[in-house]
Amino acid sequence: MHINEQFELKAKEAIHKKGAIGPDVDLSTFDPTPSPHFEMVDDDLRNLPREEQERLLMAGLDVTEKERGGTFLQMNDHAVHCHSSQEGIEVLSIQKALAEQPWVRDYYWKLADVGADKYTAAAQLGLHDGYVIRSLPGSKSVYPVQACLYMHKDGMQQNVHNIIVAEEDSELHIISGCATAPHLKRGLHVGISEFFVKKNAKLTFTMIHNWAEEVMVRPRSVARVEEGGLFINNYISMKPVRSVQMYPTTHLVGEDAVARFYSIVVGSPGSEYDLGGRIFLKAKGTRAEIVARAISNGGKMIARGHLIGEVPEIKAHLECKGLLLNGGLIHAIPELEGHVDGVEMSHEAAVGKIAQEEISYLMSRGLNEEEATSTIVRGFLSVDIPGLPPQLQAEIDRVIEESDKDVM
Amino acid sequence: MLKIEDLQVKLGEKEILKHIDLEINPGETHILFGPNGSGKTSLLMTIMGYPQYEVVSGKIMFKGEDITHMPIDERAKLGIGMSYQRPPTINGLKTRQMVELCAGGEINEAALARQVNFEEFLDRDVNAGFSGGEIKRSELLQLMAQKPDLMLFDEPESGVDMENITLVGNIIAELLEKHLHPSRGRSKMQAKADRTKMGLIITHTGFILDYVSADKGQVLYNGKLSCVSNPREILNCVGDTGYEECVRCISMNNLS
Ligand SMILES: Nc1ncnc2c1ncn2[C@@H]1O[C@H](COP(=O)(O)OP(=O)(O)OP(=O)(O)O)[C@@H](O)[C@H]1O
Ligand SMILES: [Mg+2]
């Protein structure tokens, strides 16, 4: 296949190319060898050991599939469970989709650059699996589709490519979790994601990371939003991880397209985060918002944000708040670029520790110091995300509530 | 009972309170006057236990316990509560949740909020963008849930509009169990036995006196409690001659 050969060629050229930012990962220290293929039916999911079910649940995947519109589960290198229970929503493994559904080729490596760095190269040359989720034109999903990329084999490298398409006038909600088995210590996750939000479509994508202490994570994602489209992208990561570096990019190409990024991240000692988001506003009436909450209780965190206004009559805002609980480092790098008159762009960034005055105030209402502190931290982490369905908000609240104990 | 003996307090390097003696008996309400910057808020914060107000000498007793060096939360548990002049904003904490925290458990926030005309604020973050008058009602709502025995009100009526002032006044009276105030037929002794709530109210205007009967008025001047008298009398005196003259005059009268 001609086009695929081109991808292979570009990937091979990039095989030693370091990422533009973030610490370098030595790929040779991880094992990308696929494991024997197997599948899991509904009952298999429900019969997973309780400990593993909990890990999945913390990443947003509920094996009971209550209030879920579909499920995709990848174990190590391949999809083991994949189905949709809503009309108008398709959930496929990308390997299967590439083999059987020619339309997928119209989206594969269309936004992300296969030659960007050694991680994108690895995802082409050694692609394991990933998902394709599509909402057909006009279809409105009620419940979110849940997808989870699970790493079970210690020391493995997982290469994933996801494609998400919200066709015209459709509405699609996805919870995409990443998690590791309780025993797994070390691993590398490489994840390419390409998002297509078509005319007047609405896509909410909530990514929950639940890694282990020695896991490296290199997601690469790009989105394209057409006229009147809405893309809400949430990111939550509160568990220890060695290093996450990602800088998702969104292009607002149609009039009145909107993108909102919300991230809630906790950096534990030994964790290193280099996160951010970049949104290009390329059409009249587009809006962008990046809101980040970072807590460091000993971790090192870089919070980037970059808004680029290319045409007049756009509006963009960036907000980054960092809280230092117990040493560590938070480095906020907000960037605004206005290329023409008539752009309205702003940012606010604040990094600090909890105000003693707030702790004392709550203590005078009867809370002890620890309760007061955790109440303030929980408040800090709670952001109202406009346009998010209530079940998803509840899901986010639950994850924060659960992880809250580890933060202190 | 609250008993403060020869209290001396420093804020940073500044001596902010000098030799304060104060006694509030169960059921009593005292009014605290004094010019701006005289140390009124500081006195309340010291009683509440804010550590930046460093007690250099003297002691504070409450319900028979020496609380001079007790942490804030333990004082709160012992029954001291405060309505703040300028409370901090707690981002992400809904007023509804705050009320529940104050109550120390489940409570009908809406019903409570209705009493202070504050229902529509329950889902807003605590104090976030509240106007001056809204802060006062929010603070009262929290005290209503907390139900302390000694209530420290820092200018509860300033910034409150004409309509809400009646409401605020009546709520404070209720919090302080003024409904147990002796009626003509009852002896003062009997009623006092019923009422145990104590209050210390800072006011500049004295509007609160129209709703809450007070036992004593005091003037804090330059970090000193300078006179004890009927609160109305103090108010009139300050209005006529100003604080400086008033403090001198009343101290003279007290001496004679
Ligand atoms: N953090 C601080 N640093 C320095 N001085 C302070 C600080 N806080 C208060 N003060 C000073 O302490 C003094 C007493 O302040 P306090 O707030 O107790 O006055 P107040 O009597 O309540 O005044 P007001 O009627 O204006 O509310 C003032 O001169 C004030 O400027
Ligand atoms: Mg004051």
Per-residue pLDDT tens listing for chain A (408 residues): 578 899 999 999 999 999 999 999 999 999 999 988 899 998 999 999 999 998 998 888 999 988 899 999 999 999 999 999 999 999 999 999 999 999 999 999 999 999 999 999 999 999 999 999 999 999 998 899 999 999 999 999 999 999 999 999 999 999 999 999 999 999 999 999 999 999 999 999 999 999 999 999 999 999 999 999 999 999 999 889 999 999 999 999 999 999 999 999 989 899 999 999 999 999 999 999 999 999 998 999 999 999 999 999 999 999 999 999 888 999 999 999 999 999 999 999 999 999 999 999 999 999 999 999 989 998 998 887 776 777 777 777 877 777 666 665
Based on the fold, state whether residues A76 and A13 are members of the same structural domain. yes
CB pairs under 8 A between A and B: 63
Nearest to A120 by CA among A37, A250, A27: A27
Based on the fold, state whether residues A229 and A323 are members of the same structural domain. yes
The per-residue pLDDT for A23 is: 93
8 Å CB contact between A218 and A247: no
Residue of B45, B75, B78, B93 to mutate, testing the A interface (most A Cβ within 10 Å of its Cβ): B93
For residue A151, what are the contacts with CB-CB under 8 A and spacing of at least 6?
A76, A158, A178, A179, A180, A181, A184, A187, A189, A215
B203 CB near ligand 1 (under 6 Å): no
- At residue B224 the predicted structure's pLDDT band, cuts being 50, 70 and 90, is confident
The per-residue pLDDT for B249 is: 64
Domain end residue (candidates: A319, A334, A354): A354
Based on the fold, state whether residues A197 and A319 are members of the same structural domain. yes
Based on the fold, state whether residues A227 and A368 are members of the same structural domain. no
- Domains identified in chain A, total number: 2
Based on the fold, state whether residues A158 and A304 are members of the same structural domain. yes
Of all residues in chain B, the one with the smallest CA distance to A384 is: B92
| Secondary structure (DSSP) of chain B | -EEEEEEEEEETTEEEEEEEEEEE-TT-EEEEE--TTSSHHHHHHHHHT-TTEEEEEEEEEETTEE-TT--HHHHHHHTEEEE-SSPPPEEEEEHHHHHHHHHTS---HHHHHHHTT-GGGTTSEETTT--HHHHHHHHHHHHHHH--SEEEEESTTTT--HHHHHHHHHHHHHHTTGGGSPPTTS-HHHHHHH---EEEEE-SS-GGGGTS--SEEEEEETTEEEEEE-HHHHHHHHHHH-HHHHHHHHHHHHH-
Based on the fold, state whether residues A347 and A370 are members of the same structural domain. no
The CATH topology of domain B2-81+151-185+192-255 is Rossmann fold (3.40.50)
Ligand nearest, relative to CA of residue B204 = 1
Are B102 and A360 within 8 A, CB to CB? no
Q: Is A351 helix (H, G, I), strand (E, B) or coil?
A: strand
Q: What is the CA radius of gyration of chain B?
A: 18
The closest CB to that of A379, out of B50, B93, B104, belongs to: B93
For residue B29, what are the contacts with CB-CB under 8 A and spacing of at least 6?
B176, B178, B198, B199, B200, B201, B212, B213, B214, B215
Angstrom distance (rounded) from CA A51 to CA A47: 11
Angstrom distance (rounded) from CA A330 to CA A178: 24
Based on the fold, state whether residues A388 and A259 are members of the same structural domain. no
Based on the fold, state whether residues A183 and A309 are members of the same structural domain. yes
The beta strand positions in A94-170, using DSSP E, are 131-135, 145-151, 156-166
The number of the ligand 1 atom at minimal distance from the alpha carbon of B42 is 18
| ipTM metric | 0.93
Burial (CB < 10 A; 0-12, 13-18, 19+), residue B153, is buried
- For residue A338, the surrounding DSSP H or E stretch is strand A329-338
Parent domain of A241:
3-354
For residue A40, what are the contacts with CB-CB under 8 A and spacing of at least 6?
A73, A75, A80, A81
Average pLDDT over residues B159-163: 87
- Quick check: B183 pLDDT over 60? no
Domain residue limits, chain B: 2-81+151-185+192-255
8 Å CB contact between A226 and A198: yes
Are B71 and A363 within 8 A, CB to CB? yes
8 Å CB contact between A48 and A41: no
CA dihedral B208, A360, A320, A406 (to 10 degrees): -140
Based on the fold, state whether residues A384 and A312 are members of the same structural domain. no
B37 CB near ligand 1 (under 6 Å): yes
The rounded mean pLDDT for chain B is 90
Based on the fold, state whether residues A363 and A283 are members of the same structural domain. no
Residue minimizing CA distance to atom 30 of ligand 1: B37
Angstrom distance (rounded) from CA B191 to CA B17: 34
- Quick check: B254 pLDDT over 60? no
Q: What is the CA radius of gyration of chain A?
A: 21
Residue of A320, A364, A397 to mutate, testing the B interface (most B Cβ within 10 Å of its Cβ): A364
Based on the fold, state whether residues A367 and A243 are members of the same structural domain. no
Based on the fold, state whether residues A264 and A398 are members of the same structural domain. no
Residue minimizing CA distance to atom 2 of ligand 1: B11
Contacts 24+ apart (CB under 8 A), B230-237: B231/B31, B231/B33, B231/B206, B232/B206, B234/B31, B234/B33, B235/B33, B235/B206, B235/B209
- Quick check: B255 pLDDT over 50? no
